[in-house]
Amino acid sequence: MSPVFKIFSILCIYNYISAQEISVTTVIEVENSTKSKKTYFSDYHVDSSTVKNCDIIIIGGNLNIDGTINGKITIIGGDVYLGPTAVINGEILAIGGTVTRHKSAKVKGKINQSNLKEGLLYKEIEDQVFEKDSLNIDNLSYNNLIHTNNDLFIHNRNEGLVFTPINIYWDKNGNSSFALRFELGYRFGSSESIGQLTFDKSFFSKNVGIFASIFKKSRSDDKYRLPTSENSWASFLARQDFYDRWDEEGWSFGAVTNFDRLIFKIEMNYVDVDSIGVIDNIWSLIESKRKIRLNPFLINSKTIDYLHITLNFKTKNYAPLSSGLVINIDGELNQTNRSHRIISLVKLNWEMTKGIVFRYQIINGISGNLNNFRKFGVGGLGSVSAFPYKFQIGDQMVQMNGELIFTEDFTDEWFFLKIFFDGGYAWSDNYMQLDDDKSFSFEQNDVMEKGISSAGIGIGSSDHKNLDWAVNIAKPLNGREVFETTIRFNYNF
Q: Does the predicted TM-score (pTM) go above 0.75?
A: no
pLDDT at 141: 66
User: Exposed, middle or buried, 181 (CB in 10 Å: 0-12/13-18/19+)?
Assistant: buried
**SS3 for the chain, per residue?**
CCHHHHHHHHHHHHHHHHCCCCCCCCEEEECCCCCCEEEECCCEEECCCCEECCEEEEECCCEEECCEECCCEEEECCCEEECCCCEECCCEEEECCCEEECCCCEECCCEEEECHHHCCCCEECCCCCCCCCHHHHCCCCHHHHHCCCCCCEEEECCCEEEEEEEEEEECCCCCCCEEEEEEEEEECCCCEEEEEEEEEEEECCCCEEEEEEEEEEEECCCCCCCCHHHHHHHHHHHCCCCCCCEEEEEEEEEEEEEECCEEEEEEEEEEEEEECCCCCCCCCCCCCCCCCCCCCCCCCCEEEEEEEEEEEEECCCCCCCCCEEEEEEEEEEECCCCEEEEEEEEEEEEEEECCEEEEEEEEEEEEECCCHHHCEEECCCCCCCCCCCCCEEECEEEEEEEEEEECHHHHCCCCEEEEEEEEEEEECCCCEECCCCCCCCCCHHHHHCCCEEEEEEEEEEEECCEEEEEEEEEEECCCCCCCEEEEECCCCC
* For residues 400-417, average pLDDT: 94
> What residues contact residue 4 under an 8 Å CB cut-off, 6+ apart?
none
Cα separation, 489 vs 378, whole angstroms: 21
pLDDT class of 425 with cuts at 50, 70, 90: very high
Q: Flag whether pLDDT at 483 surpasses 50.
A: yes
Burial of 464 (0-12, 13-18, 19+ CB in 10 A): middle
Q: For 18-39, write each residue's pLDDT tens digit.
A: 444 333 334 444 334 456 888 8
Kindly report, residue by residue over 79-138, the tens digit of the pLDDT: 898 888 899 999 998 887 788 888 778 898 888 876 544 443 344 444 444 455 655 544
Segment 460-473 shows an average pLDDT of 79
Question: pLDDT for 182-232, tens place per residue?
Answer: 999 999 999 999 999 999 999 987 789 999 999 999 999 998 999 999 999
Q: In sequence order, which residues have a C-beta less than 8 Å from that of residue 366 and are 6 or more positions away? A: 341, 342, 395, 396
Residues with Cβ within 8 Å of 173's Cβ and at least 6 positions away in sequence, in order, are 49, 50, 51
Highest mean pLDDT: which range of 31-40, 253-262, 402-411: 402-411
Largest CA distance in the chain: 81
Contacts of 297 (CB under 8 A, 6+ apart): 275, 373
Under 8 Å between Cβ of 87 and 109: no
pLDDT at 372 over 90: no
Q: How far apart are CA 384 and CA 399, in angstroms?
A: 8
pLDDT grade for 71, boundaries at 50, 70 and 90: very high
Contacts of 165 (CB under 8 A, 6+ apart): 152, 184, 185
Q: Which residues pair with 376 in a beta bridge?
A: 394
Domains, the chain, in order of start with CATH, read: 3-124 (no CATH), 131-314 (no CATH), 315-493 (2.40.160.50)
- Cα angle 284, 139, 466 (rounded to 5 degrees) comes to 65
Mean pLDDT, the chain, rounded, equals 82
What is the reported pLDDT for 178? 94
C-alpha–C-alpha distance, residues 47 and 84, integer Å: 11
Confidence at residue 443, expressed as pLDDT on a 0 to 100 scale: 38
**Distance in angstroms (rounded) separating the CA atoms of residues 490 and 4:** 44
The number of beta carbons lying within 10 Å of the beta carbon of residue 5 is 10
Q: Which residues pair with 360 in a beta bridge?
A: 348, 402
Distance of CA 350 to the CA centre of its chain: 20
Q: Is the pLDDT of residue 6 over 80?
A: no
For residue 446, give every residue at least 6 positions away whose Cβ sits within 8 Å of its Cβ, in sequence order, or none. 479
Distance CA 401, CA 363 (A): 9
According to DSSP, the residues that pair with 403 across neighbouring strands are 359, 420
Percent of the chain exceeding pLDDT 70 equals 81
Q: What pLDDT digit, counting tens, does each position of 261-304 carry?
A: 889 999 999 999 998 989 988 999 999 889 898 887 676 678 89
Q: Please say whether the beta carbons of 101 and 111 come within 8 A.
A: yes
Check residue 261 and give its pLDDT: 82
Higher pLDDT, 445 or 404: 404
Per-residue model confidence as pLDDT tens digits over 322-346: 899 999 999 999 988 889 999 999 9
Partners of 339 in the beta sheet? Answer: 334
Query: CB–CB of 460/485 below 8 Å?
Result: no
Q: Which of 138-142, 312-316, 428-432, 442-446 has the lowest mean pLDDT?
A: 442-446
pLDDT (0 to 100) of residue 50: 87
Single-letter amino acid, residue 446: D
Q: In this predicted structure, what is the pLDDT of residue 301?
A: 72
CA 31, chain centre distance (Å) = 39
